[in-house]
């Protein structure tokens, strides 16, 4: 079964190339596809401080996608784990999901901060961040995850 | 531009029809597509307490997808907001994103709890939940969001 998706918006501005760290203060615009969407499509969104953005890592070549296990970022200091046990971009379907700050809304454009997607990235969905969608209890994760993320934002 | 995706896994078990509330203790299996994936694809995932699941609301007919604004759940008590200002399933590209508990891993199968996706749902991606991907500051949201979510889990 193949699922066909059409991007609903595109990232405009921000970083031109994907680099690993320091995304927290990166600002960019999200421009809705105006052939299908209007300001009504995002009516009320400005009442949320954060949004969840689902996007496509369009710069990752299909033949670079990993299906098995690898060291995150190719770093041998970290354990070799499955592609679904890490958040790297060379993953099947090349989907990224990130919660970022919503700075402002202007017509069909959103200004965001802390979105780790580069200029030109196709966006597949935009959702409001609701605190009730966060885990309802304490979470735990392996130590390497925290080390990897230390300078990400 | 059209983006073609192949499901990486399928939900097996759990609820047969999508209903609105009380998902928190729902258990289901996530079965990886064994033609492309092996236990190596999820090696190390069991060290995480929670996973983020990206899935396709495959039961929503394309002609039911909303592009503009509507009252969440059709409830007039809540404001009419854009489809991207709510998390309802009749949305462009019909993508759901949920963090759920990872109960156990057995070969290419994951047992999960609190996944709001029904039996047979195609899964587009599985990511480990890392606390560093949560918002780094307090969030705010409109009052209706909390009211809508009161009985969701």
Nearest chain A Cα distance for residue B87, angstroms: 6
> Is B6's CB within 8 Å of A50's CB?
no
- The 3-class SS string of A131-148 reads HHHCCCCCCCCCHHHHHH
Q: Which residues contact A130 (CB under 8 A, 6 or more apart)?
A: A48, B87, B141, B145, B146, B149
Strand partners, A95: A56
Dihedral (CA of A80, A84, A87, A92) sign = positive
Q: Distance of CA A81 to CAs A40, A125, A140, B103, B128, Å?
A: 43, 28, 16, 18, 11
Is A113 inside a domain boundary?
A: yes
Contacts of A69 in chain B (CB under 8 A): 40-41, 43-44
Residues in B touching A142 (Cβ below 8 Å): 44, 47-48
Chain B partners within 8 Å of A121 (Cβ): none
d(CA A50, CA A130): 8
CATH number reported for the structural domain that contains residue B119 in this entry: 2.40.30.70
Which residues touch A102 (CB under 8 Å, ≥6 apart)?
A45, A46, A48, A49, A50, A51, A110, A111, A112
Q: Is residue A84 included in any domain, yes or no?
A: yes
Report the complex ipTM: 0.97
Residue A153 falls inside a structural domain: no
Structural domain count, chain B:
1
Q: Give the count of Cβ contacts less than 8 A between chain A and B.
A: 240
Asked if the structure places residue B74 within a domain, the reply is no
Pairing of strands A50-56, A27-32: unpaired
CB A95 within 8 A of CB A56: yes
**In-domain check, residue B40:** yes
Confidence category of residue A112, pLDDT binned at 50, 70, 90? very high
User: Which of chain A's residues have a Cβ under 8 Å away from the Cβ of B90?
Assistant: none
Flag whether B47 is in a domain: yes
Of A36, A47, A142, the CB nearest to B142: A47
- B18: confidence class by pLDDT, cuts 50, 70, 90: confident
Model confidence pLDDT, tens digit, residues A44-99? 999 999 999 999 999 999 999 999 999 999 999 999 999 999 999 999 999 999 99
* Domain around A59: 9-131+138-148
B44 assigned to some structural domain: yes
């Amino acid at each position: 079964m193949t699922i066909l998706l059409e991007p609903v918006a595109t990232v405009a501005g921000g970083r031109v190339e994907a680099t690993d760290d320091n995304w927290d203060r990166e600002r960019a615009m999200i421009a809705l596809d105006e052939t299908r969407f209007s300001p009504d499509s995002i009516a009320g969104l400005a009442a949320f401080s954060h949004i969840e953005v689902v996007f496509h890592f369009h710069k990752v070549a299909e033949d670079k996608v990993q299906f098995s296990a690898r060291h995150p970022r190719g770093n041998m200091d970290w354990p070799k784990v499955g592609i679904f046990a890490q958040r790297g971009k060379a993953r099947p379907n090349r989907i990224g999901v990130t919660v970022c700050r919503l700075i402002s809304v202007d017509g069909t454009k959103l200004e965001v901060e802390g979105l780790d997607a580069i200029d030109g990235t196709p966006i597949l969905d935009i959702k409001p961040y609701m605190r009730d969608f966060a885990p309802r209890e304490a979470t735990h994760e392996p130590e390497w995850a925290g080390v990897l993320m230390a300078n990400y934002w």
